[in-house]
A = this chain, B = another copy of it.
Amino acid sequence: MKTPSQRAGSRAQYDLIVRHYSALSELPPADIEIIRNLPPAETWAAGAEIQTEASPSQPRFLLSGWAARFKMLRDGRRQILSIILPGDGIGVCERLTPLALSAIATLTAVRTADAAPLVAALREHSHPLLQQAVHLANAVDEKCLIDQVVRNGRHTAHERICHLFMELHWRLTLSGAVDSQTMPWPLTQEMIADSLGLSIVHVNRMLQQMRREKLIEAGHGMLTILKPEEMLAISEFRPPQPSVATG
């Protein structure tokens, strides 16, 4: 957040988007240039509401920081629908009228880029590979939403936490933000609870158990997955079909 050279960091942040999409569809240099030339948009503090439920969504990319799509109930209960990571798109699709869906809040300080030029390029239908990458990224988002239903519906608290951690680690790896079992971890236990439909207290106890089981290690804003195979077995997490992604 306070890197000495924000300019140099900027290039790396756009590369997250490029790597994310390149993992899904091989992009020609022209398409990569579209991404690299997206105008930077806004900087947000932690806890800011990027988008309300009612507002039409402008398309954006997250350059740095984490955000979350969520729904509130009248009495204050909150459900996080999906966690948005650096390199992820928000509202990047061809549909002209994306039914207003949900509010988005930042979980940390966040920098975004304006995705409008990319969406405009998509609508010309002259960038088939970029279009495919966007479609696959949207399909991955949908897969994560489906996983979220299964987690909240049929998983135990322990399974839910393992599954969420594996999903986030996989997604961070996909965009190249992470290349080991250790990842940045800005989520509070309350955010985990709101994502998994649990109480804060219960999340705390489960995390302690997982630390005792030596499944994970946490501290200093980082989280390490110590036993990836075991976590996969517990959570039944499976990344989206690689056969399709490489097709």
Contacts and interface: CB of A to CB of B under 8 A. Distances in A.
Contacts of A8: none
Interface string A11-54: 00000000000000000000000000000000000000000001
Given A145-B145, A149-B145, A240 B154 contact: no
Nearest to A53: B241
Contacts of A77: 154
A96 interface: yes
A99 interface: yes
Q: Is the interface of A mostly helix, strand, loop or mixed?
A: mixed
A214 interface: no
Interface stretch (A110-118, A131-139, A171-179, A215-223): A131-139
Interface residues of A, number: 42
A158 interface: no
Contacts of A95: 135, 138-139
A97 B150 contact: no
Given A74-B236, A81-B149, A154-B77, A142 B196 contact: no
Which residue among A96, A100, A148, A153 has the maximum number of chain B CB atoms within 10 Å of its CB?
A153
A247 interface: yes
Contacts of A96: 132, 135
A9 B205 CA distance: 57
25 contacts: A71-B146, A73-B150, A73-B155, A73-B236, A78-B154, A79-B154, A81-B150, A95-B138, A96-B135, A97-B132, A97-B135, A97-B136, A97-B139, A99-B142, A99-B143, A99-B240, A99-B245, A100-B244, A101-B142, A101-B146, A102-B146, A145-B145, A148-B153, A149-B152, A152-B197
